[in-house]
A and B are shown apart, each in its own frame.
Chain A
Amino acid sequence: MTDMLIRPAAPARTLRHRLTRFAEAATTPLLPADYLDLVAPLRSGTDLRARIVSVEPETRDAATIVLKPGADWAGHVPGQYLRIGIDVDGVREWRAYSLTHGPRADGLISITVKAVPDGKVSNHLVHAARPGTLVHLEQAAGDFVLAEQPGKLLFVTAGSGVTPVIGMLRNLFPVADSGVVDLPRSADLDIVVVHVAPSEPDSIFIDNLRELDHHGAVRLVPRYDDQHGLLDVNDLTGLVPDLAERTTYACGPSGLLDALTEHHERAGLTLFTEQFRAGFVEAGEGGTLTLADGTTVAADGGTPLLDVAEAAGALMPSGCRMGVCFGCVLPLKEGAVRDLRNGAITTVDPISAGAGGVPIQTCINAAAGDCHLGEKR
């Protein structure tokens, strides 16, 4: 009896495939891309990057960063955001910002950033970023986009939460040097913008909103905390009498969004929200440790995660156990740790968590909150 061996069809050996293999053989242990990226970082077929074209101040603490994205940029829909990785003090940091233009003819994209107090990345982008700097990108994402037939709309924006809304408005009503351009597709729109800011000078994009208001494209209802007091969502009915007929899009800090969600649910109204500022884990003393296999154990603030995990019977990569060899490095997917040698805190922001976590040395870091470790890469 003969065994029939069914071989899977060999992959098509195209010329391109062979050339790639040959180029790889010539550059091993590196890849051809490692050389090409040095001269053409924005070319097609490599990691997505962008070059900063200009940094345009919007207010004293906000700026629009205009970027030329790499060839593989797939475009975006107004209201979407992108993840941007930029080196601040030599350390790669990832944050999300919404795109502020609709698709532009020159292919450039832009984000508008408000420098938040102690915000490492936002302050760097607003005050220190220089044209020519190379940054890292991910494709645009986010469901905070307008429906095909928008109907009557209400935008509630607070602080830098205005940026995705500006992206939508700029797409609906492009602003040329001569003023606002009326597009046929936007003729039937009826839009109210309730814009909340601490004070008038702190209000980014207020000039753009006023211009659209003067033109009649939108009705602007500015609410400044210093003049009008903090916005109470129950006042919305007074500010926007036909609230019930409108679909609400809200973007801002979580307090406002939570209140709006509750209000709209009670009233049975449609609401789309986008929370913008990512939450960070506050470093505390100790917490729990969750391993890749799901095991969770208590971890005190003075014992290295490696020891905690091993005491719980886990098989951990390890080496010198003194912070020297980096044999124990694992991605921290969630939480915060404290370096037992110098007290330095490492936290995982949601963007890094999405990208697989921050690699940490488990032998010298102790829990400073509830930590989740991933698999060795």
Chain B
Amino acid sequence: MTTIQKKTVDPTAHLTAEDIEMLGKELDEIRQEILDDRGERDARYIRTVIKSQRGLEAASRAVLLFSIFPPAWVAGTAGLSVAKILENMEIGHNVMHGQWDWMRDPKIHSTTWEWDNASPSDQWKHGHNELHHTYTNVVGKDNDLGYGIMRVDEEQRWVPFYLAQPLWNFINACFFEYGIAAYDLELGKNLAIPKEKRSADFKARAKQTLNKIRQQATKDYLVHPALSIPTGSFVPTLAANFTANLVRNLWTHSVIMCGHFPEGVETFEKKSIDGETRGEWYLRQMLGSANISGGPALHMATGNLSFQIEHHLYPDLPSNRYAEIAPKVRAVFEKYELNYHTASMPKQVYSAWHKIVRLSLPNGWLEDTNAKNAPAQLAKLYKMTTGGPKVRRAIEARSRQERRRREDAA
């Protein structure tokens, strides 16, 4: 994930400043078409989704009252998993983006919505809407890139600690909602401050998050299992709720990874956004996001984040419209000869995980390794892991040299 400014080939080099402003105008026009047409059909859509989701959740929880019986457990758990995914993705995420604020319905409004997730909506909106959506893929500004906790860029010096990052990432995926809550609290940064010096604001927000987690856990792991006691289903219901949360966490983590992590998605230097115009902002969003191709069910389950590009260009347009404008947006990409990054879910998930594994190893290690040289490569990795910084630097330098020689020969 080398930033676009440090790459040898800049995919935007062929665009003049006028091109970029024209591109911005064309994207503004697409937005305006939807705003002019937005109305009853959209309102009906979100209300139907909300009603169906609540119906599905209530029915699944009712079935789980009898979860001692395996078919009930399976059906209830599956239903609850889907309900939680819908609630977080197509409803919660999008409502909190303000996509439905135009309806002026106080019950479906970004300022009043609270979601079925560990992170309180206020804090999530700050971390996600303000930081991530404004500074998308700007290194040092957009924490979603994962720099704080992982090695996501060749430029970051490799240390043995990173070998475990595929494992960290998997654990983060399983407990993703708590990961998000910790992230919105900027827990790492704040815990590094001595307890007595932490800000009152942080303490208040931490309390708010703990309170939310307590309520969420009470519901899933106490109240509903307790309601199942009459059929002897306390433990199966608890297990079902845990499973549904796990499924939701793994799914949302995968979708989020597909949005900005696949190979080929661009990142940007902090200085590059100084005085950025609207056209340049659009261009950054275009290059910094990746779509997932698939059918309507997939789009619904990802909260239409399968149209990550469209979502990043127009985060406040109703999600049901992204599919409709995708061909127009794609035409703009083609007109300005830019790469519209889209692939199937398995491909994008693989690509994102491949990047995490690749960067968990020293630069070039994975690419250089084949069946023949595997023992030698492993020995090298062992040395780099157990040796000190000097050893690592020496081996890295030698590897770079060898690679250059090979390239010259080819």
Contact = CB atoms under 8 A, between A and B. Distances in A.
Contacts of B39: 89-91
A329 B54 contact: no
Interface residues of B, number: 48
A183 interface: no
Interface string B20-56: 0000000010001001001111111000000100110
A22 interface: yes
Nearest to A38: B51
Contact of B116 (A26, A29, A325, A359): A29
A377 interface: yes
Given A90-B38, A327-B130, A322 B227 contact: no
A33 B218 CA distance: 19
**Residue of A25, A319, A325, A377 contacting most chain B CB atoms (<10 Å):** A325
B125 A325 contact: yes
Interface in A10-66: 22, 25-30, 34-35, 38
A344 B216 CA distance: 41
Contacts, number: 107
A341 interface: yes
Contacts of A35: 54, 58
A323 interface: yes
A104 interface: no
B178 to A, nearest CB: 16
Nearest to A37: B107
A326 B224 CA distance: 35
A327 B315 CA distance: 13
A84 to B, nearest CB: 14
Interface string B47-75: 00001001100100000000000000000
Nearest to B115: A29
Contacts of A90: 38-44, 102-103
| Category for how many chain A residues contact B | 20 to 34
A74 interface: no
Nearest to B45: A90
B40 A89 contact: yes
B133 A320 contact: yes
Interface string B213-239: 001101100111001000000000000
A239 interface: no
B104 A358 contact: yes
A188 to B, nearest CB: 48
Contacts of B32: 342
Given A22-B223, A25-B219, A90-B40, A34 B54 contact: yes
Interface in B104-128: 104-105, 107, 109-112, 114-116, 125-126
Contacts of B115: 29
Contacts of B262: none
Given A25-B215, A89-B40, A342-B32, A326 B129 contact: yes
B5 interface: no
A298 interface: no
Given A320-B134, A325-B134, A92 B223 contact: no
25 contacts: A28-B218, A29-B114, A29-B212, A29-B215, A87-B43, A89-B40, A90-B41, A90-B42, A90-B43, A90-B102, A91-B39, A92-B103, A93-B104, A319-B134, A320-B129, A320-B130, A324-B129, A324-B133, A324-B134, A325-B129, A326-B125, A326-B129, A326-B316, A327-B125, A329-B110
Given A320-B130, A320-B133, 13 more contacts: A28-B219, A34-B54, A35-B54, A38-B54, A87-B105, A319-B126, A320-B129, A324-B134, A326-B101, A326-B111, A326-B125, A329-B101, A329-B110
